[in-house]
Amino acid sequence: MKFKVGERVTGLAAVFYNGEIDHGAWQSHTMLSHTMLREIATTNISDDLSFEDASTFSMAMATVAVGFYLLLDFPRMLGKGRRKVKGFHLGKVRHGIKKHPEYFKSIGATATFDYRDPKVVRNIIGEVSASDVDLTIGSDAITENDTPQLSADGLSATGHGKGKLVLTLPWPEEYPKPEDVEIFKAVAARLGTDDQDVGAWFFNDFLTDALEKKYVVTAPPVEIVEGGIASAQKGFDILKEGCQ
């Protein structure tokens, strides 16, 4: 076995593979024996990374990895700064964009936009035009209401017919699919199921090195909502408002 007793790790809970709710992650304790936490979807975490921050890390990073390396077929990253992708990521950061734009830029954003702004597509197009780059790749981590349509509209205007958009949910039926933007759906669990080779490389090799050398960091900080499952609605209300 790759991991030893006492090592600090994070990974995808086994409910993804076996469908057993006792092995899910959203509870006070979950079963993570060597048969339940798959090595190919598990990575070591450093002593200075809290379990709270690490608990959200696996799902987020796995979703990105599926988008990059399975759906978009990017070359695997070799190390810090070896590859730079020009694209945009649409996430639920509505209030944070207005309050903390410098924070988002400090973790890698070149520009920030409020996706609730009626002029968001126009603003993205303007930013792309001013930067003199072709924006062909997009990631919509929200995938609610009209966000897929807004994302596709932006890529239609900037991608010159080569746009590719990754969603986390299916394309909404009430909107026609664009003809000039290729649509993909990212499912994080694929790294531990049908694409185990990529999963093993990403979790066991790349992430372990990235966390140790600090060129991948967890962000934004986790906010703890006390009360367990009984406080689920409070957590949903916070998510609905966007990050603060």
Most trustworthy range by pLDDT among 87-101, 102-116, 221-235 = 221-235
DSSP-derived letter for residue 69 is I
Task: Identify the CA nearest to 72 among candidates 193, 133, 163, 172.
Answer: 163
Q: What is the pTM of this model?
A: 0.80
Checking 142-151 for CB contacts under 8 A at 24+ apart, the result is 142/90, 142/91, 142/92, 142/115, 142/168, 143/167, 143/168, 143/169, 144/169, 145/172, 146/172, 146/175, 147/90, 147/115, 148/172, 148/175, 148/183, 149/175, 150/90, 150/115, 150/120, 150/121, 151/88, 151/90
Average pLDDT over residues 98-123: 80
| pLDDT at residue 165 in the model | 95
The pLDDT tens digits of the residues spanning 87-104 come to: 444 444 434 455 567 777
- Higher-confidence position of 181 and 135: 181
Can you tell me the distance from the alpha carbon of 37 to that of 200, in angstroms, rounded to the nearest whole number? 13
Q: Are 181 and 165 in contact (CB under 8 A)?
A: yes
| pLDDT at residue 25 in the model | 79
The domains found in the chain, sorted by start residue, are 9-241 (3.40.50.720)
Task: Identify the CA nearest to 93 among candidates 160, 155, 140, 31.
Answer: 140
Q: Are 164 and 138 in contact (CB under 8 A)?
A: yes
- Hey, what amino acid is at 78? L
* Average pLDDT over all residues of the chain: 81
| pLDDT at residue 69 in the model | 92
The pLDDT tens digits of the residues spanning 1-15 come to: 677 888 898 888 878
| pLDDT at residue 243 in the model | 53
